[in-house]
Amino acid sequence: MTSPEWLARLSLTVLPDPRRVIVKLFVPGEDVALVRTRAAALVDRIARLDDHETRRLLTETLDRFRGQHHDLEGTFRHHYELIRHRVSDSDTLSPMARLLIGAYFSHEYAVEGAAICNPSMVAHPDQSNVDTGQRRVVISLRQIGEGHLSSIGFATAVVGPGARLTMADRYGPPRTGDRTGARHRRDLLVAGLDEQDCDDEVSATVLAMLPARFDDEEFERALARIPGDILTRPAAYRTVEQLRRTVADSYAVTFPADIPLHQRTLWPATAPESNGMEDARFVRFVADDGEAGYYATYTAYDGRHIAARLLSTADFRSFEVTPMRGPGARNKGIALFPRTVRGRYLALCRSDGETLGLTTLDARHRWQPPVPLRRPRYGWELVQVGNCGSPIETDAGWLVLTHGVGPMRRYAIGALLLDHDHPDRVIAELPGALLAPDDSEQDGYVPNVVYSCGGLLHDGTLWLPYGVGDARAAFACAPLSTLIEAMGPPPDRGMARTPTRS
């Protein structure tokens, strides 16, 4: 199985850079299987240092690391506040000693120390100073560090004219975003409670007091107004905790305006994503009123369970994160359509783990059981078939890049075409793989894998960013017209049924 000759691989490769580090909280003893925190003893030892030694250690630390991070002193101050409860007499400590304690409770983490992979590509919101035939693009990247912990990073590039791609420098230290007040959605809270089968007097009372959009303070006020006779019910406190957990699934992050996009890192911020934010599929979405923004679906992983999450942003500076609910969102690999189709919000999914499907968002904001679009058929995809990003709208129909898994867990990328007005119908498919690992792409962090989270159509050319061996990112491109001409009708054309209208 080889890639067609009309698909051009670019020589450009994005490699992981271990110099891209952030500063994380470090609590001695909490990084071992048997937790025995050594934090209090460490604080006591630091507090006993005299002023001269405290100043010397702090100065050396700042001189060594300041140039590699944004506002290092502010980070040390924040980390001191997080462990302040371990300080027996904090009022007697000098500001210098507090900063030094914060430094001891900090460590560097290389966000892409292990690998970088699985990119998606969308048009950049800023197209100023771009020449004719060019388009500036945002490339999202899955960054993998120590412990296989994934986060989301970004790069910028310019594609065109022709088969040219120019990547902007990724210089400077990465920075995580600042948590800001989230505006929670009542309908998503209702959907989350439905999934947990949490429907009693406590939840009904709280929901009745909440507006359609509410912040954390409004939520806490609603909890405080629960009548006492309801709180005495046996399951009341369990329901309150479930309400808190469900609301906490949504949050917001903002980056300072002076931090360039390639330095912004979306870092795990809640318990369900504590072990990683994986495979973000970005898409530029145009609403029915013509307003454009960006969404991304990704997999939240806590070390044991996965959950689907939705990112939304207008400018790649401020992001909102919300859970995705319903049976259509119960596995990896959800990808949104770039607009509504006949008034419906649609997404590709793989809810059974092996079949590419189409799911519809219902009036209760739950993704419905999917319609099967493509089951494993060919030898190179018999393990599973899924998507490689959001559908791309063309004159011929919705172009869907797929991934298939074959012998020796070898991944390859294929393509199919969905009907423009009835995307539950597969009208054409590429009989073989569009992109399969060649001899130079077999090795990596995870061998024999090529994988994409979303391509882009520009000036008649399909641009395909893809991960190689879950270790690095590469790029390919192909004339759209040639790709469409190479497709033929699927053997089981018409097998799908129409999804239920919401």
Residue 82 identity (one-letter amino acid): L
Q: How confident is the model at residue 499 (pLDDT cuts 50, 70, 90)?
A: very low
Residues 169 and 288 in one domain: yes
Q: What proportions of the chain, in percent to the nearest 5, are helix, strand and coil?
A: 25, 35, 40
Residues 343 and 412 in one domain: yes
Domain end residue (candidates: 209, 227, 248)? 248
The predicted structure's pLDDT at residue 1: 67
Domain end residue (candidates: 51, 76, 110)? 110
Show the tokens assigned to 411: 């991944």
Domain end residue (candidates: 110, 130, 150)? 110
Residues 207 and 159 in one domain: no
How high is the mean pLDDT of the chain? Answer: 93
Residues 51 and 129 in one domain: no
Residues 210 and 255 in one domain: no
Task: Evaluate whether residue 345 is within a structural domain.
Answer: yes
Task: Evaluate whether residue 432 is within a structural domain.
Answer: yes
Note the pLDDT tens digit of each residue in 395-415. Answer: 999 999 999 999 999 999 999
Task: Evaluate whether residue 7 is within a structural domain.
Answer: no
Give the mean model confidence (pLDDT) for residues 370-394: 96
Q: Which residues contact 303 (CB under 8 A, 6 or more apart)?
A: 274, 275
CATH code for position 455:
2.115.10.20
The predicted structure's pLDDT at residue 498: 41
Instruction: Give the chain's count of helices (H) and strands (E).
Output: 10, 30
Task: Evaluate whether residue 313 is within a structural domain.
Answer: yes
Residue 429 CA to residue 415 CA, distance in Å, equals: 6
To the nearest 10°, report the CA torsion of 253, 256, 261, 262. -100
Residue 445 CA to residue 436 CA, distance in Å, equals: 17
DSSP assignment, residue 169?
P
Task: Evaluate whether residue 1 is within a structural domain.
Answer: no
Q: How far is CA 97 from CA 42, 56, 102, 110, 136, in A?
A: 13, 11, 9, 27, 47
In this structure, is the dihedral angle defined by the CA atoms of residues 94, 97, 101 and 107, taken in order, positive or negative? positive
Residues 146 and 217 in one domain: no
Which among 18, 4, 9 has a CA at the least distance from the CA of 471? 18
Residues 149 and 267 in one domain: yes
Residue 282 CA to residue 453 CA, distance in Å, equals: 8
Task: Evaluate whether residue 439 is within a structural domain.
Answer: yes
Pairing of strands 264-265, 175-176: parallel
Note the pLDDT tens digit of each residue in 413-443. Answer: 999 999 999 999 999 999 999 999 999 999 9
Indicate whether 139 pLDDT > 80: yes
375 CB burial (10 A radius; 0-12, 13-18, 19+): middle
Residues 349 and 310 in one domain: yes
What are the backbone angles phi and psi of residue 16, rounded to the nearest 5°? -65, 145
The predicted structure's pLDDT at residue 362: 95
Residues 30 and 156 in one domain: no
Task: Evaluate whether residue 415 is within a structural domain.
Answer: yes
Residues 125 and 162 in one domain: yes
Residues 297 and 391 in one domain: yes
Note the pLDDT tens digit of each residue in 328-378. Answer: 999 899 999 999 999 999 999 998 889 999 999 999 899 999 999 999 999
How many domains does the chain divide into? 3
Note the pLDDT tens digit of each residue in 209-259. Answer: 999 999 999 999 999 999 999 988 888 999 999 999 999 999 999 999 999
Show the tokens assigned to 490: 């699927």
DSSP assignment, residue 317?
S
The whole domain housing 233 covers 183-248
Q: Any alpha helices (H) in 399-488, and if so which ranges?
A: 480-486
Residues 311 and 400 in one domain: yes
Task: Evaluate whether residue 470 is within a structural domain.
Answer: yes
